[in-house]
Amino acid sequence: MLVVRPISMSDYDALHTCAVESGHGFTSLPVNEELLTNRITHSEYSFAKGEITEPGDEGYLMVGVDSDSGEVAGTTGIEGAIGWDVPFYSYHISKVVHSSPKLGVNNVVKLLTFGNNYTGCSEICTLFLRPDFRKGLNGRLMSKCRFLMMAEHPHRFSKTIFAEMRGVSDDDGNSPFWQWLQEHFFSIDFTLADYLTGIGKKGFIADLMPKLPIYINLLSPEAQAVIGKVHDNTIPALKLLEREGFTCRDYVDIFDGGPTVECDLRNIESVRHSFRAKVKVAEHVSSQDYLMCNSSFENFRAVATKAAYDAASGSAIITPEAADALQVQQGDMIRLLAQ
């Protein structure tokens, strides 16, 4: 059974392995000891933080752990509110009309406008599942456990939830979108720019990024072709979020042109359809799969397992193994989401 829990400093080696295996373009997991250590420390601080009334600079990083072997299978995270401490940049795609009635010319042209429109929003991020564990409900658990957390503790997150999707790049980490920017505005390659952003050194972006809107039709054909497109490995994650109600509002990443998708927290399918129930611990026979989490925040736990729900009593019958994994007892409350 895979159990999702808050990360701790003892998980550093496993997080470093995930960073190495995630490859190029995974900005939130750079292979950097100081940054990874700081993320763990900040997450420990954020989970231990007392009751809060609104989201701030908290960052919640979790790991999925195999309950039998103790091996870390992957990581997943949420940023409470981005952009307050370190600027968060994106491009917005808009349209302008160049029209001349006298000449009978009417051209609609797309622009990329540099900005900080997601400042203060909560971001789901750092989702990576190691190849050996990409089976069963593991992927859904690692992704959707964040929505169960949001449903159970909505005051810790903003109204708008968004995710940056990895854009198109080749096996060597080269991005067609960045190559055009590099040629005209920068003198560093994509992997270095991506790495500097990952470790929080974003000053070069404001220094070198063009301040005026960019006409998309002036970009190279290769750069234009990947705007709003995702990396092949990211397609499953994008489809999962689209089924949750996430959609692209024409914001794209400033490095690889990958889409940013967003959804109102209240409209996320897993938030809307999850429900609370009282725990009843017993062996049972059920064919219904559920994702479930406990009601604790500091000691958050989530699993994917079979359960039986009795609507009349508002009870969920879970096995002793599941109860141990969730750290709950008879009569405690848990949140469930049918699969």
Q: What is the phi-psi region of residue 296: left when phi exceeds 0, alpha when psi lies from -120 to 50, beta otherwise?
A: beta
Catalytic residues: 231
Provide φ and ψ at 264, rounded to 5°.
-65, 135
Residue 100 CB burial class (10 angstroms; 0-12, 13-18, ≥19): exposed
Quote the pLDDT of residue 170: 82
- Domains of the chain, earliest start first: 2-90+115-270 (3.40.630.30), 275-338 (2.40.40.20)
208 has a pLDDT exceeding 90: no
CA-based nearest residue to 234, from 22, 6, 61? 22
25 has a pLDDT exceeding 60: no
Note the pLDDT tens digit of each residue in 180-201.
877 777 666 666 766 666 655 6
Provide φ and ψ at 228, rounded to 5°.
80, 5
Integer-rounded Cα radius of gyration of the chain: 22
Is pTM, for the whole model, over 0.75?
Answer: yes
- Distance CA(336)–CA(274), nearest Å, equals 5
203 has a pLDDT exceeding 60: no
Tell me what percent of the chain is helix, strand and coil, each rounded to the nearest 5: 35, 30, 35
For 34, the 3-state DSSP assignment is: helix
Note the pLDDT tens digit of each residue in 126-175.
999 999 999 999 999 999 999 999 999 999 999 999 999 989 988 777 78
202 has a pLDDT exceeding 80: no
Note the pLDDT tens digit of each residue in 217-273.
999 999 999 999 999 888 988 999 999 999 999 999 988 899 999 999 999 999 999
